[in-house]
A and B are shown apart, each in its own frame.
Chain A
């Protein structure tokens, strides 16, 4: 370890700047807070479509903070941000298509074949 240190110091030009971790910990507490909120809804609210919508919205909030702050996408160029976000429309398309397909399948099986 000691040998590494001296090797280190040779390459170092000047002092190491102080760590800037305020924004990181802020994001962490936001993520923990949203997760705690999700558990509050899971335990104190009856399962319903409204509850599912709340869960999905909260999940999207968490996803935003992870991608924007931790993955630093918010601070990249506009073109890179859109390059990543626009293809996600394909996922939304697939989701709408397959979930309505599932509901249709269920409906036809229960209504016509039972």
Chain B
């Protein structure tokens, strides 16, 4: 290896690239800016949801007598009211509560991994990363179930004016309400799910690197911090999706 280009000591002057802007490393800063742009994408998605909701008729009648109709926007509690293994039982928002808990827990195990990284505790980093991967994968499984239930539909389905009955939802027909409702469900939760999937892939990569001692030799676990930032962002987006999709 040529030694002529190697510096005797690192540059420290401001104009020699010696200091970090905003006192954050390059990688972390770029992750923040990426997440900012991603927040715009998710923000736009959710705002379009708000727009289409405001331009459709809200359901004004009694919640007890609510029926699915393309005339009005559905009440979320009536759409998301099933739980695996409890067929036909009305459990409004129970499954989404479980999914929210899983994602919050995965966020906590991720912070614990980052904290262990600060202490250079390789075993703890491994342990907490593994938990995070487990919770992330569980969340993805839950979402797969939620999607397949949404697509298959309920036994009652929806009776159209011309007498035909439709079950479940796809991009053009939707038993729960206006077709746009299903489209936005697929796009927003799907885009979020894709983010979770990418997050799990990243977590598996840094887990393998941690086990191989890559970060330990490097002397810091900053990569865990950067993936952690991404993972918390995914949790943050879910907090908003949860409110605007399932509660309001």
Taking beta carbons and an 8 Å cutoff, which residues of A are in contact with B?
4, 7-8, 11-12, 16-17, 19-21, 24-25, 27-28, 31-32, 35, 38-39, 42-43, 47, 52, 55-56, 58-59, 62-63, 66-67, 69-71, 76-77, 79-80, 83-84, 87-88, 90-91, 94-95, 98-99, 101-103, 105-106, 109-110
Contacts and interface: CB of A to CB of B under 8 A. Distances in A.
A15 to B, nearest CB: 10
Contact of A102 (B29, B50, B124, B243): B50
B50 A95 contact: yes
A21 B115 contact: yes
A31 B104 contact: yes
B16 to A, nearest CB: 21
Contacts of A69: 111
B112 A80 contact: no
A94 B43 contact: yes
A19 B53 contact: no
A8 B121 CA distance: 10
Contacts of B239: 59, 62-63, 66
19 contacts: A11-B217, A16-B120, A20-B115, A28-B105, A42-B77, A42-B247, A52-B248, A66-B239, A69-B111, A70-B228, A76-B23, A79-B22, A88-B39, A91-B39, A94-B43, A95-B43, A102-B54, A103-B55, A106-B54
B171 interface: no
A91 B121 contact: no
Chain B contact residues: helix, strand, loop or mixed: helix
Interface stretch (B135-143, B154-162, B185-193, B230-238): B230-238
Given A4-B211, A55-B243, A91 B36 contact: no
